[in-house]
Amino acid sequence: SQKIEQNSEALNIQEGKTATLTCNYTNYSPAYLQWYRQDPGRGPVFLLLIRENEKEKRKERLKVTFDTTLKQSLFHITASQPADSATYLCALEGSYIPTFGRGTSLIVHP
């Protein structure tokens, strides 16, 4: 069956460091993968989309990589700030049903 895995444990890092979050998937051949940010009590907000033929995508301090051989996407936040603390969800397009991972909580300490 199709599965998306994100680290269930919270990632704690110091302000200024680079945060790296992982999204692994099995039994998918997605045309693209998306990353969303969710703050407590709010709906997810779209951050970045990367297509299967793209290795890397950047937006300001954010960088996403997509390795279709490893079936993995990495999400990086450089020069992290306490305001980056949130849950980050990856989402795959598969059989027209949008499927989300459970998300990884990121906590950036000042």
Partner 1 sequence: DTAVSQTPKYLVTQMGNDKSIKCEQNLGHDTMYWYKQDSKKFLKIMFSYNNKELIINETVPNRFSPKSPDKAHLNLHINSLELGDSAVYFCASSQSDGLTSTDTQYFGPGTRLTVL
Contacts to partner 1 by CB under 8 A: 31, 34, 36, 41-46, 49, 87, 89, 91, 93, 96-100, 102-103
Q: How far is the CB of 102 from partner 1 (least distance, A)?
A: 5
Contacts of 103 (CB under 8 A, 6+ apart): 6, 38, 87, 88, 89
Q: How far is the CB of 88 from partner 1 (least distance, A)?
A: 12
- Residue 45 or 79 having the CB closest to partner 1: 45
Q: How far apart are CA 103 and CA 89, in angstroms?
A: 4
- Residue 84 or 93 having the CB closest to partner 1: 93
Q: How far apart are CA 76 and CA 20, in angstroms?
A: 5
Q: How far apart are CA 12 and CA 16, in angstroms?
A: 12
- Residue 12 or 18 having the CB closest to partner 1: 12
